[in-house]
Amino acid sequence: MTMFKERDLGTPAPPPDATAVTVEIDGLPVTVGEGTSVLRAAASAGIDIPKLCATDSLDAFGSCRLCLVEIDGRRGTPASCTTPVAEGMQIRTQTPRLAKLRQGVMELYISDHPLDCLTCPANGDCELQDMAGVVGLRQVRYGFEGQNHLELEKDRSNPYFDFDPSKCISCSRCVRACGDIQGTFALTIEGRGFDSKVSAGAGEKFADSECVSCGACVQACPTSTLQEKSVVELGIPTRTVLTTCAYCGVGCSLKAELRGDELVRMVPDKNGGANEGHACVKGRFAFGYATHPDRMLEPMIRERPTDDWRVVDWDTAITYVAEKMRQIQDRYGAGAVGGITSSRCTNEEVYVVQKMVRAAFGNNNVDTCARVCHSPTGYGLKQTFGESAGTQDFRSVADADVILLVGANPTDGHPVFAARMKRRLREGAQLVVIDPRRVDLVRSPHIEAAHHLQLNPGSNVAIVNALAHVVVTDGLVDREFVDARCEGFDQWAEFIARPEHSPETVEPITGVPAQQVRAAARLYATGGNAAIYYGLGVTEHSQGSTTVMAMANLAMATGNVGREGVGVNPLRGQNNVQGSCDMGSFPHELPGYRHVSDDVVRTAFENLWQRPLQSEPGLRIPNMFDSAIDGSFRGLYVQGEDIAQSDPNTNHVAAALSALDLLVVQDLFLNETAKFAHVFLPGTSFLEKNGTFTNAERRINRVRPVMAPRTGKHEWQIPCEIATAMGYPMSYDDPSQIMDEIALLTPTFAGVSFAKLDRLGSVQWPCNDTAPEGTPIMHVDEFVRGKGRFVPTVFVPTTEHTSRKFPLILTTGRILSQYNVGAQTRRTPNVFWHKEDVLEIHPHDAEGRGITDGAEVTLSSRVGTTTLHAVLSDRMPPGVVYTTFHYPTTGANVVTTDNSDWATNCPEYKVTAVQVALRTGSDAATVGDRFDTLAVPRK
């Protein structure tokens, strides 16, 4: 694709329902919505008025004085960006008077600007340069001998962009982008008049300020003041490929901008449904892992994990895998092998892996990493609402009046959605945070939660039940909604009204004062549109599924389902975790969440696939591990997941992987799981993929290749060729054919095709004859299951408890700059901000153990020990410690137990009884030390 640059209309659009008004601009009649600026009205008619401070992603500011116009009946020359249209208005944008004024304004700008256009990295991509040409500037009468800003020092401290204040025109676009779009408010205009300048924090360097490196300021800058280092090094890009970010579940649409075949930068797409022109530090900048020297580009095999790797060609590797799988099945039975799909791969790549397992392996032993994160979401929402996915699109938060944030830290885990949420909170929405840790949204610039219910880890069900108890006993139930659209309410109401669920009764369990719970419940029930957003702090518990159902009960009881600004919304972790579930990656479900025991559904697949399918569910990931250790499960295909680092109780996982006769790992890098592998198949990065991702709001986005597969093979081809080599012919000419097959077999995807996605940009499933362009809001008139179902949610305490030996509770989470197990982000400059996992510990707990800030400590549980550096923090209450899991050398999951959710086996990462002590020389080594070093590949 040639270089694609969206047209900037100068100011934001008016509301879609604005009354139409007609004006005359340069003699041309123009009809626009009431409230539209003159600048935007002109641009919509193809009349470009010069501008510098104005952009359609920010509210009008009116500082540059370049967009002046003349309006009949009005004195002076008003700024067109801050002047709204009025019926019958007559406007002139080009007159000798305006030309002279604009030239004078531009002359002043240029008089204090370096005249180095030919060597400037923004040459050819600079709005100041463009506007100088547009206004016809031909001379600068003011010399440079007076006071100026030309010698100001550059700030190169940020790993991804430079700040050159000598080129700044003080338009405030970067400052406004940081505040209005990102909501961080890290930038300001310091000083007045001639002394005014952009400043990061209190005169700090960018790297030392509150800047989160989202890049909104860089994108907003009209000059080379803020410039990507990649552009300085490689030059201005010349072509664009539209694709989708491969990090978190927000699913940002990005423009990959290239110079020749070299990727220069990522720019968020203003038309992206999920992000609307915004991105975060990972999506915008952290793409260098795709060309990192650690990338493995050739298949490798070895007889034993202790042997050196041997590089082979693709045919040899695929034949080897097929023969070994068949040998295992011949000896141990068809159920002795299985596969794990990846939430980082496309829908099409995931689909062919589960098809390989079911049709070529002949069993249902397929699972996905969603097992260890959001499987309780699927179960809980299916039981109550009838569909295993969130209810809203991300835009819906703009209509929320009350936001209940449970077990989620979106500023770190889902930063682009967090920016949307913060914008709504600044506009007046109220926030209730339920989390053991004081996340940033509890209090940050211009935001403060109305309530922070800082509960004890493991008491989620108790506190959500207590909220519902207040709703029922205070008479706050929306009976009209409940009577019309739900079932099972009376039984549930009797259950939830019992004294055992009152805030006073559960206060000793949750640790949250009863009056806070009552106030939060009343706010949720009476504050207008109320939306629930939740994360892994809900699902990764022994009662994860129960908590999801409890939140669904709360939403139904208050009528907060089925319209804008409400709903129950999971913030999913990985880029395609929703899609991997949609594609049939669970052992009990075919694509579209249809149970394998459903004869009608199974017959449809059998007829198309021409292969009988098993009607009994297969093994879940924990069952695979247990069966590997007992010897009945012998072969495993792992697509793009580092289970040795990401799954709980690392020692147990290592034992299971060591027991396998064949472990096939398909990934970008030789990760921790690959240390146990017999075959390594190189995968492709998102820059090489052609297919689709499905984000947390059910939005199906196109992923388009920026470059050819560096491995010489598309990732979807690999399972197809293995299946074919095992005797089940499976081939496609293009991934669009895979999506066509998905649409043929999956009702919620029935109307999806690459052609439709290319035309519309994206759609949200269900997409079918009833909703040909998708479904932004679910359960509008009725629930998918018909009536919403209230489910009594009994609180059952976790079996993981503290003791004298393990007196603290460990909970885990993520950090903004790193992603999941860090395989990608650790191979980018993002390590600048987070070089290791650390243990946050309350000063009270640290003092009693003689631990100081930065001290090396051992973290021990009933199943393992690891070593970290301590950071003293009061974000957690005494008795609770916190760490991330981005570095294999730390191996935080060596201490997490294999306790799991009762319904789905989702691990209980968030509650582990531990002890923390100063490390001594006799302490156990870290998990990274225990694993053997990687064997060197050889030809």
pLDDT of res. 744? 97
pLDDT of res. 369? 83
CB 701 within 8 A of CB 695: yes
In sequence order, which residues have a C-beta less than 8 Å from that of residue 717 and are 6 or more positions away?
Answer: none
Our measurement of the distance from residue 501's CA atom to the centroid of its chain's CA atoms, rounded to an integer in Å, reads 34
Q: Strand (E) positions, 445-487? A: 447-448, 451-453, 486-487
Going by C-alpha positions, the residue among 11, 31, 12 that lies closest to residue 20 is 31
Identify the bridge partners of residue 161 per DSSP, sorted by sequence position. 228
pLDDT of res. 930? 37
Phi, psi of 340, rounded to the nearest 5 degrees: -125, 125
Phi, psi of 131, rounded to the nearest 5 degrees: -70, -30
User: In this structure, what token pair is assigned to residue 927?
Assistant: 């998990």
Phi, psi of 444, rounded to the nearest 5 degrees: -150, 175
CA distance 504 to 305: 56
Going by C-alpha positions, the residue among 880, 877, 881, 855 that lies closest to residue 868 is 855
Our measurement of the distance from residue 327's CA atom to the centroid of its chain's CA atoms, rounded to an integer in Å, reads 41
Q: Are strands 90-92 and 161-163 parallel, antiparallel or unpaired?
A: unpaired
Q: Strand (E) positions, 9-167? A: 20-25, 28-33, 70-71, 90-92, 161-163
Q: How far is CA 556 from CA 501, 642, 903, in A?
A: 18, 38, 22
Q: How far is CA 867 from CA 140, 652, 758, 859, 920, in A?
A: 64, 19, 49, 6, 10
CB 442 within 8 A of CB 448: yes
For residue 766, whether the previous peptide bond is cis, meaning omega lies within 30 degrees of 0, is yes
pLDDT along the chain (939 residues), means of 10: 78 92 95 95 94 94 94 94 95 95 92 89 91 89 76 93 94 95 94 87 90 95 95 94 95 95 95 95 95 95 96 97 97 96 95 97 93 87 93 96 97 96 97 97 94 96 98 98 97 97 97 97 98 94 94 98 96 90 94 95 97 96 94 96 84 93 96 95 96 96 95 96 97 97 96 96 95 95 95 95 94 90 90 93 95 95 93 95 87 84 86 93 47 33
Identify the bridge partners of residue 889 per DSSP, sorted by sequence position. none
Q: How far is CA 464 from CA 456, 552, 792, 820, in A?
A: 13, 10, 12, 28
User: In this structure, what token pair is assigned to residue 447?
Assistant: 């935001």
User: In this structure, what token pair is assigned to residue 203?
Assistant: 């005169």
How many angstroms separate the first and last alpha carbons of the chain?
38
- Kindly write down the DSSP assignment for every residue of 326-347, as one continuous string: HHHHHHH-GGGEEEEE-SSS-H
Sign of the dihedral through C-alpha 412, 416, 421, 423: positive
* Mutual angle of helices 735-745 and 347-355, in 10-degree steps: 70
User: In this structure, what token pair is assigned to residue 217?
Assistant: 């300021």
Our measurement of the distance from residue 831's CA atom to the centroid of its chain's CA atoms, rounded to an integer in Å, reads 19
Is this structure's pTM higher than 0.85?
A: yes
pLDDT of res. 905? 83
How is residue 926 annotated by DSSP? P
Identify the bridge partners of residue 883 per DSSP, sorted by sequence position. 812, 839
Tell me how crowded residue 806 is: count the other CB atoms within 10 A of its CB: 19
- Kindly write down the DSSP assignment for every residue of 228-254, as one continuous string: EHHHHHH----EEEEEE-SSBTT--EE
| CA angle centred on 889, ends 885 and 890, rounded to 5° | 45
The single residue listed with the structure tokens 């000059």 is 223
Q: Element (H or E) spanning 554, and its range?
A: helix 544-557
| pLDDT tens column, 95-121 | 999 999 999 999 989 988 988 889 999
How is residue 2 annotated by DSSP? B
What SS3 class is residue 886?
coil
- What is the C-alpha R_g of the chain? 29
Q: How many angstroms separate the most distant Cα atoms in the chain?
A: 92
In sequence order, which residues have a C-beta less than 8 Å from that of residue 431 and are 6 or more positions away?
Answer: 402, 403, 405, 425, 441, 447, 448, 449, 450, 451
pLDDT of res. 5? 75
pLDDT of res. 365? 97
Our measurement of the distance from residue 589's CA atom to the centroid of its chain's CA atoms, rounded to an integer in Å, reads 25
